Amino acid sequence: MAVDSGPLLRKLALVGGNAIACSLVRPSAKGGLLHQCKLSSMVIGQRIRELRQANNLSQGDLEQRTGLLRCYTSRVENGHTVPTIETLEKYARALEVPLYRLFYEGEEVPKNLELPSDEGAKPMWGAKGHERDELRKFAKALSRMDDHHRTLLLGMAQRMAGRKRRK
C-alpha cells in the first residue's frame, strides 16, 4: 500500500504502562489511521539527555528534582530502560517542558491534528447529567456483586436489549 509521504507526527502510545513512540501516518484507504510503531526507548532517552544538557542539569540534579535514582536516569538515557508515562511526567516537570517535548523534535509548537467532527453522531448514553449519575450508581452496584450475579445481570440485560430491537 502506498503511503502519503507527508510529514509524520510523533504520538505517544501505551503498551503495558510503557511509552512507545508512534508515527501517525495519514488516513488509510479504509477510513482509519495507519500507525507505524516501534519501541523507541533510545529516542526518548536521547531527548531527555538533550533537554537535560540544554538546561545545564546533571543526572544528579534530575535525581533531586524527580526522586528517581541517577543510575535509573542513566539507563533511560542510554536506552536500556523504557520509562512509564508517570516517570516521563516526572522528567518533563523536572526539565520544565511540556510532556510532548520528550517526543517532538521540532522547535515550534506542533499543529493540532484535524480529526473528523462528531456532528450528526448520536451522543452516547451516560455522557451527560442524570444519565452519568445513573451509570455511576450502576457501576457501584456491579462492583459489590460477585461474578455469578454479574453474569446473570449481563445476560438479562442482553436479552432485554434484544427484545427491544425486535419490536
pTM check: above 0.75: no
Q: What is the pLDDT of residues 146-163, one digit of tens each?
A: 989 989 988 998 888 887
Specify which residues 84 forms β-bridges with.
18
Measure the CA–CA gap between 129 and 134, rounded to whole angstroms: 9
Task: Give whole-number Cα distances, 32 to 6, 64, 77, 112, 115, in Å.
Answer: 17, 44, 34, 18, 11
Is residue 115 helix, strand or coil?
A: coil
**Three cell numbers, residue 54:** 540544554
Which tens digits make up the pLDDT trace of 14-56?
A: 444 444 444 444 444 555 544 444 445 568 888 999 999 999 9
pLDDT (0 to 100) of residue 128 = 79
